[in-house]
Structure 1
Amino acid sequence: MTGFAVQVRDLGVRYGDTQALDGASLDLPAGAIVGLLGRNGSGKTTLLSVLAALRKPSTGSVLVDGEDPFENERVMERVCLIRESGDVMADEKLSDTLDLVAAARPTWDGEYAAELLDAFELSLRKRPGTLSRGQRSAVGAVIGLASRAPLTIFDEVYLGMDAPSRYRFYDALLADYVEHPRTIILSSHLISEVERLFEEVVVLEAGRVLLAEDADSVRARGATVTGPKDRVAEATRDLTVIGRRDLGPTAEVTVFDALGADERARLDAAGLDIGPVGLQDLFVHLTGGKS
């Protein structure tokens, strides 16, 4: 199993007078971990709902593994969308929820689910309605990972967990992805925690795709240039500046350009310091300074 590829073309989704997605287009390769980033209201959850066949596009098209996923049983049973709530039956024992998932998911691995339940200290006898928010989030993580769906989507599923549980989830996801490659989409506001996992990055802004590239290329295009204000301004005037901070006589600008060896040598010759920029900082700058 290598996962499902995704193609989105001119996708539009409207809720009454609200245009949640507006002409969004992107391609996701099969067998990659994708970071889906965007401010609140950018259209992330709407896009994921369309990919999981929970919502029909208003305009445009979506293909998952080469097929329209909407009302497509073959695709739908192999796409797993997990939200923070975990999508569990609150009044039934956890074992009943997992039995239902196992019956609906042809790729379900019960032994792996049991291992994960032990790791997260979850009892099959518990009813999800009696669990804490963090425990319910962990149940969702277990279902998403053990489903081993060719397209697995986590929509902020880990926000309810404490830090040790979140990192346990990240490590489990990466380890199982290596053993069982599939396409995994992570929608998250905790970018600094999860960016190490990303192989592809998609950034949504106001219902449109602002950026869709492999993560290494995005990281390589981000840099800080620091030094005396006048020299920084002169050296970066032909570069794409997406952020600036003034520190007395010193300026630090964030640029979003592929700095080749010659460009870096020029900046170095001007006595300027060049530093890396994490995906979270790039995201904040690219989306107008708000997370």
Structure 2
Amino acid sequence: MTSQNPVIQVDDLTRSYRDVAALQNVSFALQPDIICGLLGRNGAGKTTLMRMLTGQDFPSSGTARMFGENPVENSAVLQQICFVSEGQRYPDGYHARHVLAGAPWFFANWDAAFADALVDKFRLPLKRDVKKLSRGQQSALGVILGLASRAPITIFDEPYLGLDAVARQIFYDALLADYAENPRTILLSTHLIDEVSNLLEHVLVLDEGRLLLDQDAESLRGSASAVAGRAGDVDSFAEGRRVLHRDTLGGLATVTISGRLTPADHRAATAAGLEIAPVSFQQLIVDLSTHPDRRPAVASVAYE
């Protein structure tokens, strides 16, 4: 990948609220035109980080820069960002059509025809007061704003949680298709890890305010395996390896092993009567987040 200046640069970012450290010395950089997943449990610090990136909060220490600049009260930077969050508030009496009609004032790349097509796909009632829309309809409105804005940096803070499975798939399909034609940097915060795993090119994982993982998604896929069989045989196979998780049931055991297994490893497992299966994105993140004593050091991939 050709070296470029990062569009998002975070260095030793810390945010404390009285005795609570919401973010602790977080550092990472994102290059232009990438879909990045921001993952982590509730309270991990994801929303705090996004508020810092969009100039809505101040760091206790460290820096967050967008396009090389501090986003706080920086109109030139903020005009290039679309931040969509669940529970977005609008003025009293606003209908969905008012929200979409006003979007060109805020987003220079706004595509009204694309927005209209998405309105049809999501079956969004345009003449209804936003406050009277169902949760799913409000989520659809946020998704339409984020996609049709075509902002150079678009940040989704789980605005699609109110969508049903069909509507979420419409969102994922529309995002991928439009991103292919109109690349930009998309930061996607979500709990639905397995649903979005195939969309992601890069992954950031926060846990208790710390950056747990900063890694290319392709290298993360297949970076762990589940090995199952008789407990003694499983433990013998896992000896000397990094074990992220272990379950037992009677005389059987399953372990999640970090690292890619070689063909020789697969042959040895087969000879021992063990079964090897890939670990899902979601299970890998869960294992990393729930076993702090087994975590690897923060993994970061440099762009060359």
TM class by shorter chain equals: over 0.9
Question: 1:261: Cα distance to partner?
Answer: 3.7
Shift in CA distance, 3/130, structure 1 to aligned 2, threshold 3 Å: farther
2:171 counterpart residue number: 169
Unaligned runs of 5+ in 2: 292-304
Cα pair 1:133 1:160 within 8 Å, conserved? yes
2:34 counterpart residue number: 32
Question: 1:219: Cα distance to partner?
Answer: 1.7
Cα pair 2:14 2:25 within 8 Å, conserved? yes
**For residues 251-276 of structure 1, what are the alpha-carbon distances to aligned partners after superposition, in whole Å with 9 as ceiling and x for unaligned?**
11011223334444443443322210
Report the RMSD for the aligned CA atoms in angstroms: 1.8
State how far apart, in whole Å, the 2-side matches of 1:219 and 1:127 are.
43
Moved more, 27-36 or 86-95: 86-95
2:12 counterpart residue number: 10
Shift in CA distance, 3/155, structure 1 to aligned 2, threshold 3 Å: farther
Aligned AA (2:144): V
Name the SS of the counterpart of 1:196 in structure 2: coil
Shift in CA distance, 30/264, structure 1 to aligned 2, threshold 3 Å: farther
1:20 counterpart residue number: 22
Cα pair 1:3 1:31 within 8 Å, conserved? no
Name the SS of the counterpart of 1:157 in structure 2: coil
1:244 counterpart residue number: 246
1:52-201 alignment, distance < 5 Å: 52-201=54-203
User: Does 1:41 pair with 2:77?
Assistant: no
Shift in CA distance, 27/109, structure 1 to aligned 2, threshold 3 Å: same
1:211 counterpart residue number: 213
TM-score, structure 2 normalization: 0.89
Cα pair 1:3 1:181 within 8 Å, conserved? no
Question: 1:85: Cα distance to partner?
Answer: 2.1
Cα pair 2:6 2:29 within 8 Å, conserved? no
Question: 1:14: Cα distance to partner?
Answer: 1.5
Aligned AA (1:166): R
State how far apart, in whole Å, the 1-side matches of 2:239 and 2:9 are.
37
State how far apart, in whole Å, the 2-side matches of 1:175 and 1:13 are.
36
Question: 1:283: Cα distance to partner?
Answer: 1.3
TM-score, structure 1 normalization: 0.93
* Matched residue count: 288
Aligned AA (1:118): D
State how far apart, in whole Å, the 1-side matches of 2:156 and 2:110 are.
16
State how far apart, in whole Å, the 2-side matches of 1:67 and 1:11 are.
15
Question: 1:249: Cα distance to partner?
Answer: 2.1
Moved more, 48-57 or 132-141: 48-57
State how far apart, in whole Å, the 2-side matches of 1:160 and 1:77 are.
27
Cα pair 1:11 1:24 within 8 Å, conserved? yes
User: Does 1:257 pair with 2:259?
Assistant: yes
Shift in CA distance, 29/262, structure 1 to aligned 2, threshold 3 Å: farther
Name the SS of the counterpart of 1:287 in structure 2: helix
Aligned AA (1:257): G
Question: 1:130: Cα distance to partner?
Answer: 1.4
Cα pair 1:3 1:183 within 8 Å, conserved? no
Name the SS of the counterpart of 1:201 in structure 2: strand
> Once the two structures are aligned, what percentage of the paired residues are identical?
44
Aligned AA (2:218): D
Unaligned runs of 5+ in 1: none
**For residues 6-44 of structure 1, what are the alpha-carbon distances to aligned partners after superposition, in whole Å with 9 as ceiling and x for unaligned?**
121110012222211010111222211111111111100
**For residues 118-176 of structure 1, what are the alpha-carbon distances to aligned partners after superposition, in whole Å with 9 as ceiling and x for unaligned?**
11111332210111111001000000001111111111111111111111111111111
2:300 counterpart residue number: none
